[in-house]
Amino acid sequence: MNVTVVGSGYVGLVVGACLAETGNQVACADIDERKIGMLNEGKSPIYEPGLDRLLQRNLAEGRIRFTTDVADAVREGQVVFIAVGTPPDEDGSADLQHVLAVARVIGQNLVDEKVVITKSTVPVGTASKVREEIEKHTDGTFHVCSNPEFLKEGAAIDDFMRPDRVVCGIESEGARPVLEELYEPFVRSGNPLIFMDIASAELTKYAANAMLATRISFMNQIAALCEAAGADVTMVRRGVGSDPRIGASFLYAGAGYGGSCFPKDVRALIQTGEEMDVDLSILKEVHETNERQKKVLGRKIRTRFGEDLSGKSFAVWGLAFKPETDDMREAASVTVIEELLAAGATVTAHDPVAEEVAREWYLGDRIEYAQDEYAALSGADALVVVTEWLQYRRPSWERVKAALEAPIIFDGRNLYDPARMRRHGFEYYPIGREQVR
């Protein structure tokens, strides 16, 4: 099948590479010449495990190509995915200008019947706007569909290749066989290909992310209660998560969620509710709880060292919002580091892959960057753990203790056991657990 993917960001690249891997002829189009140049050399502009290998193999075998000629790519595709960004507007709603710009190009270049699939995360009602924009420029036949992505950064290839479900919103039966053929290689193990109306599909994506964000914020509120009551949030999580009606996923207390999805999608869903006069007060509290949670580590540090941190130095382990990605959008690390700098401290950070992103977009040269996690510790007054990379989970405590000015750790992801920290002689400040003074 000839497939066109417009937008070569995180979602578009994963979709294009995985569809090419199953034998489709894929054209990925983007107006960013620098990005397309990198991709034609087999280099991904984003960090995602396994993506470079897929791109290089399918480039070499002629199943995928990258172009800045969006119109040409649209004309050749039987299926056209819209996978451009939908950044938050000032009021929190999703900005649809890029989605509708692609719809306009599709309408202007509709030379035969096409299935147009919105893959970008968009609010309910967007498919109707896409259809209206295409119809302004053509009388040709096309089918508009909603096919939301459920890709976890750091595991996106596996999520696409072995999905737990594929959601397809359709408005005509003419699109169903095309989608069935396209996704048949990925649902052979029996996980469902779920067809529904378009509005339900559009809302499913937002509702799923909002539910996961709610679980995280709920557990972070419980963590605050645990600290006040002398309880251990990890024990509470085990007890609660063992209930099969609840499950253990996304019940980890920590320094707050970030990334490209949860913060943006929660705000967009709140805005949609306001536009439709529906009270989504639960989600408003989810968002506000998360914003407060990002400041918990900074508050713990100032409680320990005082409000004025002039002359103090801190080592930070982790910059990305989660492991296995270089994405720092809405990352808790940025909030923590900005608060430390504002209080007069100096910061040396380490992250296995996100240093370049931090330098270019978020922190610049206001902090130091270490080549490895131990180098970041040298002379620091304390270690602050913000991202749960695997290499941080079992460090050499002898090296950590020897490098720090004082053996003090603030753990924003509850990686370490308080009893073990006590045995190793550390002062330890986790989230919702026993502090070791």
Position 94 scores a pLDDT of: 85
Domain ranges in the chain are: 2-196, 205-292, 294-429
Find the radius of gyration of the CA atoms of the chain: 24
Active site residue 145: no
> Residues 357-404: pLDDT tens digits?
999 999 999 999 999 999 999 999 999 999 999 999 999 999 999 999
| CATH T-level topology, domain 294-429 | Rossmann fold (3.40.50)
pLDDT of the residue at 113: 95
Q: Side by side, which strands form the sheet with 368-369?
A: 368-369, 346-350, 313-317, 382-385, 408-411, 427-429
Give which of 224, 292, 270, 253 is closest to 411, Cα–Cα.
253
What pLDDT does residue 93 have?
82
List 28, 168, 226, 261, catalytic entry: 261
pLDDT < 50 positions in the chain: none
Please report the pLDDT score of residue 88 as a whole number: 83
The CATH fold of domain 205-292: N-(1-d-carboxylethyl)-l-norvaline Dehydrogenase; domain 2 (1.10.1040)
Q: What is the pLDDT of residue 385?
A: 98
- Collapsed DSSP state (helix, strand, coil) of residue 242: coil
pLDDT score for 87: 85
The gap from C-alpha 304 to its chain's centroid, in whole angstroms, comes to 32
Q: What is the pLDDT at residue 164?
A: 94
Q: How far apart are CA 393 and CA 387, in angstroms?
A: 10
pLDDT tens for 298-346 read 999 999 999 999 999 999 999 999 999 999 999 999 999 999 999 999 9
pTM of the model: 0.93
Same fold, 2-196 and 294-429: yes
What would the CATH number be for the domain defined by 2-196?
Answer: 3.40.50.720
